[in-house]
Amino acid sequence: MDQFKARLKSVAIVLATVDGDKLQSATGITADPVAGATAGDMVNFVVQQVAQQVGGEGDLAMADGNRPQDLAVPHESVAEWVGKRA
């Protein structure tokens, strides 16, 4: 995550992996693209739609869930979420 942020400079990142019926998602955010938002805010946005457990704050947060079939929904809407906070 840190390498992506260092290379891209201004970015909000959502990474996800699915293993059977388990979903893990991690979010990272640089300070500049989203005024006042944190990776915890962004992962909470994802969690509301697919996950059950979340942890983190600041520039890195992670979530676990059991609805991987719903993964496309929040990932498609993250850009809009970021845009509203820019």
CA torsion through residues 23, 6, 56, 75, sign: negative
User: Model-level pTM?
Assistant: 0.68
**42-48 LR contacts (CB < 8 Å, sep 24+):** 42/12, 42/14, 42/78, 42/81, 42/82, 45/74, 45/77, 45/78, 45/81, 46/14, 46/74, 46/75, 46/78, 48/74
Question: Would the pLDDT of 1 be above 80?
Answer: yes
Domain boundaries, the chain: 2-71
Q: What CATH number labels 2-71?
A: 3.10.310.40
pLDDT tier at 41 (50, 70, 90 boundaries)?
Answer: confident
Task: Write out pLDDT tens, residues 53-71.
Answer: 666 666 777 777 777 777 7
